[in-house]
Amino acid sequence: MLVNGREIAEDVLSTLEKERASVGRTLALGILMSQGDAATESFIRIKSKAAHRLGVEVIRRELAETSTTEDAIAALQELAAITQGLIVQLPLPPSIDAEAVIATIPNNKDVDALGPKPHEVLAPVAAATLEILERAGVSTKGKKAVIIGAGRLVGKPVAEMLTEMGANIVFVTEHAGSLDELFDADIAILGAGKPGFIKPAMLKPGVVLIDAGTSEAAGGKLVGDADASCANMASVFTPVPGGVGPIAIAMIFKNLFALAKKHETH
């Protein structure tokens, strides 16, 4: 089964559209980011488009190259005061200690579940994965789930979620574990960002394969960690582009709505 991420995202967004009136008249998403990066610009444009559709104001602070860590933290706090959700879009300018900035994201505005715990919402890629598993009727209890990459946007949050759902997690990174673990994995979560390095012969037939390992191939084309031919081995397969990505974007807004409702003071 090839997952149609655009269709699922459309579903999520249209449900949010119907809920919009119940959330509070004004709703704003704050984005702290660097200037002048074309990839960042294109990610932000996609988020802005969804915001536009949902009647969400977007406030972007494009830090200067000369901005300090203190400037960035102050900017984030100012954004927090006038928004219901915050995104720290990485990478920040090199003059800034991004870890220190991330550590100041308030829990009640953390739509990306990127800042300090406890997180009040699922990280967008974890939420997208959950949505895909539920729609495909995949049971996770007692299943072996191999997670390729232990990054904070994919590997870590998805592993946490699958652990709570009763799966047995095996991490494979550049420093630990072996890709051989994939041979008997029921579920594979790809988050390495290495174009097309997972091949069908490495997989168990019928595997549930969630590819969130987007990277940019020569020519600017988006590609996943899995070779496209893996689709033939998998019972559930998410293509890149058009799989996890659009659903994760929609989940940012699902999170924004949830946080806004929970912390509404008016």
Q: In this structure, are residues 215 and 182 in contact, taking their beta carbons and an 8 Å threshold?
A: no
In the beta sheet, which residues pair with residue 223?
215
Which residue in 113, 155, 166 sits closest to 244, CA to CA?
A: 155
- The reply to whether 56 sits near a second copy by the rule CB under 8 A is yes
- The reply to whether 61 sits near a second copy by the rule CB under 8 A is yes
- The reply to whether 225 sits near a second copy by the rule CB under 8 A is no
Number of residues that bind a second copy (CB under 8 A): 28
- The reply to whether 98 sits near a second copy by the rule CB under 8 A is no
Q: Tell me which stretch binds a second copy (CB under 8 A): 42-50, 157-165, 210-218, 242-250.
A: 42-50
DSSP notation for 132-187 = HHHHHT---TT-EEEEE---TTTHHHHHHHHHHTT-EEEEE-SSSS-GGGGGG-SE
- The reply to whether 26 sits near a second copy by the rule CB under 8 A is yes
Near a second copy by CB under 8 A: residue from 57, 97, 120, 181: 57
Cα–Cα distance, 249 to 65 (Å, whole number): 27
- The reply to whether 130 sits near a second copy by the rule CB under 8 A is no
Closer CB to a second copy, 35 or 108, in the complex: 35
- The reply to whether 169 sits near a second copy by the rule CB under 8 A is no
Closer CB to a second copy, 27 or 210, in the complex: 27
- The reply to whether 120 sits near a second copy by the rule CB under 8 A is no
Near a second copy by CB under 8 A: residue from 19, 36, 229, 261: 36
- The reply to whether 87 sits near a second copy by the rule CB under 8 A is no
What is each CA distance from 253 to 10, 13, 23, 134, 144, in whole angstroms? Answer: 12, 8, 12, 19, 31
2 phi/psi in degrees, rounded to 5: -85, 120
Cα–Cα distance, 219 to 112 (Å, whole number): 29
Cα–Cα distance, 133 to 8 (Å, whole number): 12
Residues that bind a second copy (CB under 8 A): 25-27, 35-36, 41, 45, 48-49, 51-52, 55-67, 71, 75, 78, 82
